Structure 1
């Protein structure tokens, strides 16, 4: 789509959101879950296959380079300065052959091209070097959309007394959304970081964040999250 088309789409979405917001408020939606006292940052699929050009999973590069990566760099700096746990999530498969009699892809390959994320090609599923993990941060490998489904994530968070997850990454309509929904279902306060969530499809981020904010998480800006994170250190002092 052209810039003009995207601008028109944004205007239409905003008009739809205004109408829907009124309906939601009248019916008791859009409540706040709020920040807790023990947060962790969960970064979903900000690996090269999603953040860099040239892959079927590549997301909107303008938003990636202009908002998501810079926003993540700020969040990571605040987390590292304040001792906040960080989990980097990525996706890859050991048996990416669709004709194999047995594969760890399950049936997902029937819908999307997950066979292109081969665990043998580490560069594809490695976390983007601009936001690479540092010592003390955990990289979690998942096989499904949600970072919680079939993984150790919930157990790790509970073992460290985490009550709040700030979720970033891609894509808004799939892996980020599923992670947020499962996070809330597992009892964590869920925060979607507005500028640090992307997708491949125009309008997908805006629509999903609007809907997520109504039902599954608080959508908050990077600046709000930074203020919260830095305030934790002051409170502890």
Structure 2
């Protein structure tokens, strides 16, 4: 039987502050509660850099334009939203690029725990979720994407990815339907 983990990706203050859907984080909190109640590990994936951003090449369009200190030590905007904050014992994975795997120890942690099924949620659908789906599929993980626990600033992009692209490599469902499979 596959062992699952819920990955909650990029739900950090600086990122949540740009989300136009005020119900997103409460929905994500319901997914986290369902996972915890069912004993499914919750892993929090965040973007983070050392002081001075030595990991960022200025040519990188996604991260090269970040202001000094952003997502670095002491940046309050790098904190995980309190509504979904990690509990004691829950893993926080720090990544250096868009995919949850890039520049992180996520794969090592998953393999060590025997996890082979990832349930994905995050901000944004066309960023961390897309990049993680593609890389995780290449790494032979079973995948589920919680469509209503993902957000993209472009609703049409979100729709296309969740309805057309992701189903090629993942099961796509809602938080409510996924939670029913846990009990």
TM-score (norm 1): 0.70
Following superposition, the deviation at residue 212 of structure 1 comes to: 2.9
Write 1 or 2 for the structure with the bigger share of helix: 1
Pairing partner for 1:223 from 147, 165, 176: 176
Are residues 1:71 and 2:27 paired? yes
Pairing partner for 2:105 from 152, 169, 172: 152
Aligned to 1:207: 160
Write 1 or 2 for the structure with the bigger share of strand: 2
The answer to whether the 8 Å contact 1:92/1:118 transfers is: yes
Residue 152 and residue 118 in structure 1: after superposition, are their counterparts in 2 closer, same or farther (change >3 A)?
A: closer
Pick the structure with greater CA Rg: 1
1:22-61 pair list within 5 angstroms: 37-52=2-17, 58-59=18-19, 61=20
CA distance in 1 between counterparts of 2:9 and 2:55 reads 19
Aligned to 1:81: 37
Of residues 112-121 and 80-89 in structure 1, the stretch that sits farther from structure 2 once superposed is: 112-121
TM-score (norm 2): 0.89
Q: Note the alpha carbon deviations across 1:133-161, whole angstroms, 9 max, x for none.
A: 11121111111111112321111111111
Aligned to 1:130: 83
Q: CA RMSD in A?
A: 1.9
SS at match of 1:114: coil
Gaps of 5+ in 2: none
Residue 41 and residue 121 in structure 1: after superposition, are their counterparts in 2 closer, same or farther (change >3 A)?
A: same
Aligned to 1:55: none
Gaps of 5+ in 1: 1-35, 53-57, 98-102, 231-237
